[in-house]
Amino acid sequence: MSSIEEIQKGLAEIVEEVAGVAADDVSVDKSFVDDLDIDSLSMVEIAVQAEDKFGVKIPDDELANLKTVGDAVNYIASNA
């Protein structure tokens, strides 16, 4: 089980790899779409990589609810 900090750091690395957003900018209060300019195609890539990295399942209907980085970190922490 990863800590909240480890999840946030690992997620930020994925977002940087997929979408080119600097990891330091991937903070919990940021919206994937509105703040980080990440489109739906990249969100699918990010979700698949997060599933592999954290050993969690992110079904499509859950993915749609993950609006902010914080939403994703909390979901992963609760379901990993």
Partner 1 sequence: MTTNDVVVTGLGATTPLGGDVESTWEGLLAGRSGIAPLEFDWVEKFELPAKIAAQLAVEPTETLPRVEARRLDRCEQVAMVAARQAWADSGHSEDTVDLERLGVVIGTGIGGAITLLHQDDLLETAGLRKVSPLTVPMLMPNGPAAHVGLDLKARAGVHAPVSACASGAEALAWAWRMLRSGEADVVVAGGAEACITAIPVAGFCQARTMSTRNDDPTRASRPFDIGRDGFVLGEGAGIMVLERADFAAARGAKVYGRLAGIGTSSDGYHITAADPEGIGQSRAIAAALRNAGVDPIDIGHVNCHATSTPVGDVIEPQAVRRAIGDHPVLTAPKGNLGHLLGAAGAVEAIATVLSIRDSVIPATLNLENLDPKVQLDVVSGEPRKMHLTAAVNNSFGFGGHNVSLVFTSA
Residues that bind partner 1 (CB under 8 A): 18-20, 40-42, 44-45, 48, 51
**What's the min distance (Å) between Cβ of 53 and partner 1?**
13
DSSP symbols for 19-67: H---GGG--TT-BTTTTT---HHHHHHHHHHHHHHHT----HHHHTT--
* Residue 4 CB, nearest approach to partner 1 (Å): 25
By beta-carbon proximity to partner 1, the closer residue of 45 and 71 is 45
| Choice between 4 and 48, CB closer to partner 1 | 48
Closest CA to 12 of 22, 3, 4: 22
